[in-house]
Copies of this chain bind each other. A is one copy, B any other.
């Protein structure tokens, strides 16, 4: 399954030696740089060859038609797709009369290194041109965390053995040609050349292109400026046309002399501001960047990341690959969110066009738990984005004849963009997932302003949704029928345990928040009767249980269904959804991704240890992990019920999903949720951290290969550090307060500056559960190639 063997396991770097063009697209995702506002895929400076060129701005999308062979009421007719905006990464090189292209001539040493400490992608190449000229080329690229609108590239070229004529072309290119993506001609047409030129200006070393999208009306400014360092004489030229700006440098370098160019890039966009306003915005960013200079940007970047690692790093002994993977994961989670600032965190971040650039429940269920404890302001921003989409969610609820708000299953601008409703709109659990993230953030930060202005409306409107989607049966129970849980190999089931339990948490959270903030609640029209109704529904929430088997069915009747015939399923028939119709998948016991097991994690407070062990053992042999969202959750539960070796195997899968391209689709972008899941696996899995009971509890226990695990979480602004070894765990707190924690079920008080060490009891797991044949996680052993 490992298609990119080239990343060596170093603690702080992702290093690629050599250049394998067959995995170029994958490496472009792995080497993508982003600050949550701008995203640049790791395309080669010279543009070609490429797997998939990509430059993205958060929330810059185009509408496209959603066609239906047979339409139905409420099916969304228009969807959104992220678009590739003006490419500013391009620096082309001409040596004598030959363009630098790794496919021609001879490529000697080639290395790309993503530094997780610096936030810089560096590249060096030794190249002999077809006519025998020997060159050294190096570049460094960053997307600034501190200057949100800015990226920069330092590019250097040096002839090795003879004087040479050099031409360098630094470009902005809009509407660049992309490989065909959609099979639907109408969708493809909507996304072809999506940028309409509005302005192009160039002078000195500076140029600017302004474009606007056709239907979505996003006005985009892209600008570049350059500084040049060269001992030789350099002639420069700048030119531009509606879709291209080009800064050209010509020089003749003596042997060993080098030409160094720093390219500053600035991007801005708005759906409201005028051409002059957008122009001024990007010019200001460019001026600031140029003033900072390359070294200044580099220093700011390092400082920003030093702060990040100081609070967020996970440090461990025993497995260099996992060490690398978890830092890569944390870095990518930061890249996806750091400066998104009330814009969404898409499933792929800004690393590729996968899933059309949409945000899903991934954000709240996987990414935000990580951000909440490592970068809470980014978690708050993501939820404030949800809050901004409340009008669309209310309107969607009205269309679905529901009360409150229904968040889109997949979207960029807040409007439903899901074209298959049984696995889209029907997955109403996303609303409880949003509420869960809101409750977690408030709990972890104590941020009252956030609670009043964003959390409360989100909780109230989602609680209203559940009150109207569910109903009290004549037996008194509150039932939620006809919805789809996390497992997409089931649909439209009654009383999905995960959904019902998360809705219960949502209803209770809304009631509590409304009682804490009665004035604001009254402003939202909340009455005492409504709060009482939420509490009644939550208390009466129906949770099905199979008495005969002694397990929870994923949804009512699930355990009565036929079990999928795993023995007759060939390895090449996974993922099942590409080889079997829903007609077969839905009616059988086969689980795409953790669903009931997800409930065991997210609502761990509602299950006994015994129930968790039995349920986990029941669902393991049914779960095929055809989703990247599954391994990490299975790892967490495996660790909880004592199967540390199994958890460790799942950790390997979750952590190296993208570095090893385990799902063969890293080319379309990174799996940000799975990356966040790597952190969850270590912190919630082997650290045993839980928060669903209202406070932080831990039940740490290390798998055999790990000898130490150290991580930190932020709790009400204070850094809580947990240091685990084979025999005990030491808790320490920075700051000036104290906090009540629990360790393996025993509560204790932790005071700042007074570390507490607790012994770790041995695990007593039952027999290791089996997985569907051929779907066992790869046995993960440190040092495996």
Residues 396-437 of A, flagged 1 when their CB comes within 8 A of B and 0 if not, give 000111100000000000000011111111100000000000
Collect the chain B residues with CB atoms within 8 Å of residue A583's CB.
74, 400, 421, 425-426, 482
Identical chains bound together, number? 2
A contacts with B: majority SS: loop
A400-B581, A426-B583, A584-B401 are known contacts. Are A72 and B185 too (CB-CB below 8 A)? yes
Given A70-B423, A73-B578, A422-B422, 9 other A-B contacts at CB below 8 A? A67-B186, A69-B75, A73-B579, A74-B583, A402-B584, A482-B583, A491-B492, A494-B557, A494-B561
Residues 59-98 of A, flagged 1 when their CB comes within 8 A of B and 0 if not, give 0000000111111111110010000000000000000000
Q: Is A74 in contact with B482, judged by CB distance below 8 angstroms? A: no
Collect the chain B residues with CB atoms within 8 Å of residue A421's CB.
581-583
Residue of B nearest to A74 (CB): B581
Q: Is A68 in contact with B586, judged by CB distance below 8 angstroms? A: no
Q: Tell yes or no: A560 within 8 A of B by CB.
A: yes
Q: Tell yes or no: A291 within 8 A of B by CB.
A: no
Collect the chain B residues with CB atoms within 8 Å of residue A603's CB.
none
Nearest Cβ on chain B to A500's Cβ, whole angstroms: 14
Residue of B nearest to A562 (CB): B471
Q: Tell yes or no: A577 within 8 A of B by CB.
A: yes
Q: Tell yes or no: A587 within 8 A of B by CB.
A: yes
Q: Tell yes or no: A479 within 8 A of B by CB.
A: yes
Smallest CB-CB A-B distances: 6 pairs: A69-B419, A482-B587, A66-B69, A67-B67, A74-B581, A70-B420
Q: Is B482 in contact with A399, judged by CB distance below 8 angstroms? A: no
Q: Is A419 in contact with B70, judged by CB distance below 8 angstroms? A: yes
Within 583-612 of A, Cβ neighbours of B (below 8 Å) are at 583-584, 586-588
A473-B560, A492-B492, A560-B473 are known contacts. Are A418 and B70 too (CB-CB below 8 A)? yes
Q: Is A580 in contact with B418, judged by CB distance below 8 angstroms? A: no
List, sorted by A's number, 26 A–B pairs whose CB atoms are closer than 8 Å.
Answer: A66-B69, A67-B68, A67-B69, A67-B184, A68-B69, A69-B419, A70-B419, A70-B423, A70-B424, A72-B581, A74-B581, A74-B583, A400-B583, A401-B580, A421-B581, A425-B583, A426-B583, A471-B562, A479-B562, A481-B561, A481-B562, A482-B583, A491-B492, A492-B492, A494-B560, A494-B587
A184-B67, A419-B68, A583-B425 are known contacts. Are A73 and B577 too (CB-CB below 8 A)? yes
Q: Tell yes or no: A556 within 8 A of B by CB.
A: yes
Q: Is B471 in contact with A425, judged by CB distance below 8 angstroms? A: no
Nearest Cβ on chain B to A725's Cβ, whole angstroms: 47
The size class of the interface chain A forms with chain B is: 35 or more
Binding site for B on A (CB under 8 A): 66-76, 79, 184-186, 399-402, 418-426, 471, 473, 479, 481-483, 491-492, 494, 556-557, 560-562, 577-584, 586-588
Collect the chain B residues with CB atoms within 8 Å of residue A79's CB.
69
Q: Is B481 in contact with A70, judged by CB distance below 8 angstroms? A: no
Collect the chain B residues with CB atoms within 8 Å of residue A578's CB.
73
Q: Is A581 in contact with B73, judged by CB distance below 8 angstroms? A: yes
Residue of B nearest to A417 (CB): B69
Q: Is A72 in contact with B492, judged by CB distance below 8 angstroms? A: no
A67-B184, A74-B581 are known contacts. Are A479 and B425 too (CB-CB below 8 A)? no
Residue of B nearest to A69 (CB): B419
Residue of B nearest to A587 (CB): B482
Collect the chain B residues with CB atoms within 8 Å of residue A586's CB.
482, 492
Residue of B nearest to A65 (CB): B69
A494-B557, A556-B557, A557-B494 are known contacts. Are A399 and B581 too (CB-CB below 8 A)? yes
Residue of B nearest to A183 (CB): B71
Residue of B nearest to A73 (CB): B581
Nearest Cβ on chain B to A405's Cβ, whole angstroms: 15
Collect the chain B residues with CB atoms within 8 Å of residue A482's CB.
561, 583, 586-588
| Cα A695 to Cα B90 with chains together (Å) | 83
Collect the chain B residues with CB atoms within 8 Å of residue A471's CB.
562
| Cα A68 to Cα B189 with chains together (Å) | 12
Question: Which of A69, A419, A494 has its CB near the most chain B CB atoms (within 10 A)?
Answer: A69
Collect the chain B residues with CB atoms within 8 Å of residue A557's CB.
481, 494, 556-557
Collect the chain B residues with CB atoms within 8 Å of residue A424's CB.
70
Collect the chain B residues with CB atoms within 8 Å of residue A184's CB.
67
Residue of B nearest to A423 (CB): B70
Collect the chain B residues with CB atoms within 8 Å of residue A75's CB.
69
| Cα A583 to Cα B469 with chains together (Å) | 10
Collect the chain B residues with CB atoms within 8 Å of residue A426's CB.
583
Nearest Cβ on chain B to A367's Cβ, whole angstroms: 23
Collect the chain B residues with CB atoms within 8 Å of residue A419's CB.
68-70
Question: Which of A185, A479, A482, A494 has its CB near the most chain B CB atoms (within 10 A)?
Answer: A482
Nearest Cβ on chain B to A333's Cβ, whole angstroms: 27
Nearest Cβ on chain B to A217's Cβ, whole angstroms: 22
Collect the chain B residues with CB atoms within 8 Å of residue A186's CB.
67
| Cα A184 to Cα B561 with chains together (Å) | 37
| Cα A479 to Cα B563 with chains together (Å) | 13
Q: Is A425 in contact with B587, judged by CB distance below 8 angstroms? A: no
Collect the chain B residues with CB atoms within 8 Å of residue A423's CB.
70
Nearest Cβ on chain B to A33's Cβ, whole angstroms: 30
| Cα A510 to Cα B320 with chains together (Å) | 64
| Cα A69 to Cα B356 with chains together (Å) | 12
- A481 touches which one: B72, B401, B587 (CB < 8 A)? B587
Nearest Cβ on chain B to A180's Cβ, whole angstroms: 16
Residue of B nearest to A582 (CB): B72
| Cα A665 to Cα B390 with chains together (Å) | 39
| Cα A71 to Cα B423 with chains together (Å) | 12
| Cα A482 to Cα B491 with chains together (Å) | 10
- A400 touches which one: B422, B425, B584 (CB < 8 A)? B584
| Cα A506 to Cα B511 with chains together (Å) | 54
A492-B492, A557-B494, A560-B479 are known contacts. Are A577 and B72 too (CB-CB below 8 A)? yes
Question: Which of A557, A582, A584 has its CB near the most chain B CB atoms (within 10 A)?
Answer: A582
Residue of B nearest to A186 (CB): B67
Collect the chain B residues with CB atoms within 8 Å of residue A491's CB.
492
